[in-house]
Structure 1
């Protein structure tokens, strides 16, 4: 049996769509439902009602599942907890098991300067392993 080629398929006339001839309604819908929706709970047994509820809850959970939203919420929770811990340890004064807790001024200073990275006193210091700023040419590159 020969299969129709792309050229033959393109040459065929287009089938008239059902939605263009008449809008879909319950009466002319070609996709009939297998079951009546929603089911009549008075006719179902207790076990069938429970099974239906479990299935419905599972479908609702799957329909509302959003991985990007869940990931965003987890990151927001992580940032909130981290910010609360930083504030608690570096800036707050409280009593902890009967002992007064007050973070040291040096610790607060380091926290304000991102632990020494942006410290005004150390701004122009260079690391020991950093290359020279303007290396002097020892040998000419071209003769």
Structure 2
């Protein structure tokens, strides 16, 4: 329906010279070696409601197929996922809540204790072997 409106508006706006050349181009297309089966877009005022619905459904399906962009959609979904996860991690681990009772304080403590053990100072403390435990194991 919208293309018909645009076409009719454009026909009114063209000058007489352009209108003549446009009409000859349309005539030559219709009188070419292959005859057109249907005029597109059809005049919706002359169609029944059932036919209008059919054309509308067909147009929507074709429009949906023409605008599919799987790579772009995948990129957008990944960007949304990354941003949501980043905000969640920042909220739990880094955000200053300015409250006495931080709801995520237990998770923060365990996280920083784990990564605190990976610092160079803590790493050497973990690698020191417990000699007494080793000798007691050998004796048993």
Greater RCO (Cα-Cα under 8 Å, separation 6 or more): 2
* CA root-mean-square deviation: 3.6
Encode CA deviations 1:59-94: one digit per residue, 9 max, x unaligned: 001000011111111111110111121012112355
Aligned equivalents of 2:34, 2:125: Cα separation in 1: 76
1:4 matched to which residue of 2?
Answer: none
1:110-125 matches, within 5 Å, as 115=115, 119-121=119-121
2:88 matched to which residue of 1?
Answer: 85
Query: Higher helix proportion, which one?
Result: 2
Aligned length: 97
Question: Post-superposition, which runs of at least 4 consecutive aligned residues in structure 1 deviate over 6 A?
Answer: 123-127
Tell whether 2:76 aligns with 1:73.
Answer: yes
Residues 91/107 of structure 1: CA separation in 2 closer, same or farther (3 Å cut): farther
Query: Higher strand proportion, which one?
Result: 1
1:57-72 matches, within 5 Å, as 57-72=60-75
Aligned equivalents of 1:44, 1:89: Cα separation in 2: 61
TM-score (norm 2): 0.52
Residues 119/49 of structure 1: CA separation in 2 closer, same or farther (3 Å cut): farther
1:41 matched to which residue of 2?
Answer: 44
Unaligned runs of 5+ in 1: 1-24, 128-143
Aligned equivalents of 2:48, 2:71: Cα separation in 1: 40
